[in-house]
A and B are shown apart, each in its own frame.
Chain A
Amino acid sequence: MNQEILDRLRMDDRFPHILCPGCGIGSAMNAMIRAIAESGLTNDDICIISGIGCSSRVPGYIDADTFHTLHGRAIPSATGVKLAHPDKEMIIIAGDGDLLAIGGNHFIHAARRNLDMTVILINNHNYGMTGGQYSPTTPQGKRAKTAPYGCVERAFDACEMGIGSGAVFVARSTTYHTPHLKGLIKQAMKKNGFALVEVISQCPTLYGRLNRMGDAVKMLEYFKENSITVSQVKEPKDAEGKIVIGVLHDIEAPEYYESYRKVCEHAQRR
């Protein structure tokens, strides 16, 4: 039995957990926990923060300091915790609505500020918890409970938003490519600064059903057939309609807390 992994969970009466059968969030959580374990972090070295939504219930299942905050407010809340404990690794679990709609303002500013934290965006293209409404990442034309005739709006590319806002590490994977996802999460946690990992995930119960994408297995097959790696993209048209997975952005930039500490030293010397 993989005791190492089960020891990191809050077992007792909480399992099986709240997520629907075949929901991708469970696989993303699985990859995250293994990434933490394989990074040599104990559960006391981390704080897991979430907002509201299906993915926001993940921290409750992990035996660590966990912070289930307001809808869209995981990142600013994590900012407070991180500044109080700069030695701890902040891991934010967010859904597409949570991070990019109500939480969008905090997302772009945290990326600009570049405070060290790892944001795992589980993108299942709709608001699952409230019953399948469209979100900022629902592709144009796709159906949702609030888009019965197809989504009118254009969707965000969360990774481009992260890069444009100044994130120092941006990567994407899917719940099919779980070993690949685990590796990206490890890289993101090691990165000193604002790191984003987008996980394209299946929501068979709502988004999948409303768009006739079949069950979890069918949706994962779709991810498998339609994903290409960053290196395979020679020109932009290669990526059209495809899920581009891998490390999309990896640069160095001054980390917020370190810059702030220099300010403190300067202030104290004066």
Chain B
Amino acid sequence: MYKKYPKPVECKSQSGIEIIIIKEFCKGCGICVEFCPKNVLALGSDFKVNVANIDACNGDKLCELRCPDYAIFIKKQKKSKES
């Protein structure tokens, strides 16, 4: 009943980490940007979170946990045997 939410913007790093952003939920507070230890994120011209440096992301999910609005999620690909 409650399952509809906007289509997110997705961005994948070489090491398989995916950053998923629901632009409609982001209010541009900048918390994720400021406290990301690897400076992966930045506020864009749309005053919302954007991925600035995807490959620096270590997947620590601090942005996801601190976000007050459920606007950003991190998905880590399961380390498949070959890679």
Contact between A and B in the complex (any CB pair below 8 Å): yes
The distance in angstroms between the C-alpha atoms of A19 and B71, with both chains bound, is 14
What is the minimal beta-carbon distance from B69 to any residue of chain A, in angstroms? 6
Output the residue of B2, B20, B25, B67 with the most chain A CB within 10 A: B2
Q: Check A15–B25 contact: CB distance below 8 A.
A: yes
Contacting residue for B65 out of A15, A21, A22, A182, CB 8 A: A182
C-alpha spacing A9/B67, complex, angstroms: 15
Determine if B2 and A11 form an interchain contact, defined as CB atoms under 8 angstroms apart: yes
Q: How many residues of A contact B (CB 8 A)?
A: 37
Residue-wise, chain B 44-59 has the 8 Å CB interface mask toward A (1 for contact) of 0000000000000000
- In the assembled complex, the Cα of A32 lies from the Cα of B8 at a distance in Å of 23
Inter-chain CA distance A204–B70, complex, in Å, is: 19
Residue ID in chain A nearest B47 by CB atoms = A21
Cα–Cα distance between A63 and B64 once the two chains are bound (Å):
20
B30 and A34 within 8 A (CB)? no
Over the window 1-23 of chain A, the binary record of Cβ atoms lying under 8 Å from chain B Cβ atoms (1 yes, 0 no) is: 11001110111100111011111
Q: Which residues of B contact A182 (CB under 8 A)?
A: 65
In the complex, how many residue pairs between chain A and chain B have their CB atoms under 8 Å apart? 90
Residues of chain B with a CB closer than 8 A to A22's CB = 27, 29-31, 68
Q: A21 and B28 in contact (CB under 8 A), knowing A15-B5, A217-B34? A: yes
Q: Is the CB of A24 within 8 A of B68?
A: yes
Contact present for A6 and B5 (CB under 8 Å): yes
Task: Specify which chain B residues have a CB less than 8 angstroms from the CB of A19 in the assembled complex.
Answer: 68-69
Contacts known (A22-B31, A216-B31); A30 close to B2, Cβ less than 8 A: no
Q: How far is the CA of A170 from the CA of B63 in the complex (A)?
A: 27
Whether a CB of chain B sits under 8 angstroms from the CB of A179 is yes
Contact with B along A22-37 (1 / 0, CB 8 A): 1111110111001000
Cβ contact within 8 Å between B30 and A2? no
Q: Is A215 an interface residue (CB 8 A)?
A: yes
Q: B1-30 CB contact bits vs A (8 Å, 1 = yes)?
A: 111110010000000000010001111111
Assess the A26–B67 pair: CB atoms within 8 A. Answer: yes
Give me 10 other A-B pairs in contact (C-beta within 8 A), A2-B73, A16-B26, A176-B35 excluded: A2-B74, A15-B69, A16-B69, A20-B27, A22-B30, A22-B68, A25-B68, A29-B68, A176-B66, A179-B65
